[in-house]
C-alpha cells in the first residue's frame, strides 16, 4: 500500500486558513500607526494575536522576534498576551498584513 504525502505548502495554507477562522477570519489590515484595543484571541504556538481596536475593527498579526512586548516598561513573553488584555499596538503595514513592532500591555 502506497503512503500518500501532502505537500508542505498545502499543509501550510490549510493551517493558515484554520488559524484565520479560529481567530476571527474577518480581521482587517490597517494603516501603520499606534492603536489601542483588547486582545480577542491568541494562538501562542503560532504567535498569532487578534486585537479588537477601540473603533471595533479586528486586526490580526503575528508576533515576531522583532516585536517588542512590554508591560509597565518591562519585557514580557508572548504568553502574556491573553484574551481580554488591554493593549497598545504599534503596527507597520507590509503589503496585505499587519506587522507589530511594539505591543504594550495596559493596566
pLDDT, averaged in runs of 10, over the chain (107 residues): 49 41 67 97 88 96 95 93 96 93 97
* CA neighbor of 31 nearest in space, from 94, 86, 105: 94
Q: Return d(Cα 67, Cα 104) in angstroms, integer.
A: 10
Domain ranges of the chain: 8-105
pLDDT of residue 89: 98
The whole-number pLDDT of residue 107 equals 92
pLDDT for 25: 57
CA distance 55 to 88: 13
pLDDT of residue 23: 44
Q: In the structure grid, which three cell numbers stand for residue 38, read together?
A: 483588547
User: Is the full-model pTM beyond 0.85?
Assistant: no
Cβ neighbors of 15 (< 8 A, separation 6 or more) are 46
Assign a CATH topology to domain 8-105: OB fold (Dihydrolipoamide Acetyltransferase, E2P) (2.40.50)
pLDDT of residue 27: 81
Amino acid at each position: 500500500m502506497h503512503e500518500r504525502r501532502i505537500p508542505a505548502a498545502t499543509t501550510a495554507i490549510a493551517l493558515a486558513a484554520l488559524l484565520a477562522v479560529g481567530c476571527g477570519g474577518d480581521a482587517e489590515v490597517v494603516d501603520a500607526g499606534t492603536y489601542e484595543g483588547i486582545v480577542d484571541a491568541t494562538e501562542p504556538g503560532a504567535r498569532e494575536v487578534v486585537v479588537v481596536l477601540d473603533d471595533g475593527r479586528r486586526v490580526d498579526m503575528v508576533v515576531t522576534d522583532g516585536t517588542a512586548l512590554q508591560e509597565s516598561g518591562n519585557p514580557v513573553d508572548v504568553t502574556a498576551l491573553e484574551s481580554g488584555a488591554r493593549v497598545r499596538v504599534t503596527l507597520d503595514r507590509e503589503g496585505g498584513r499587519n506587522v507589530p513592532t511594539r505591543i504594550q500591555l495596559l493596566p
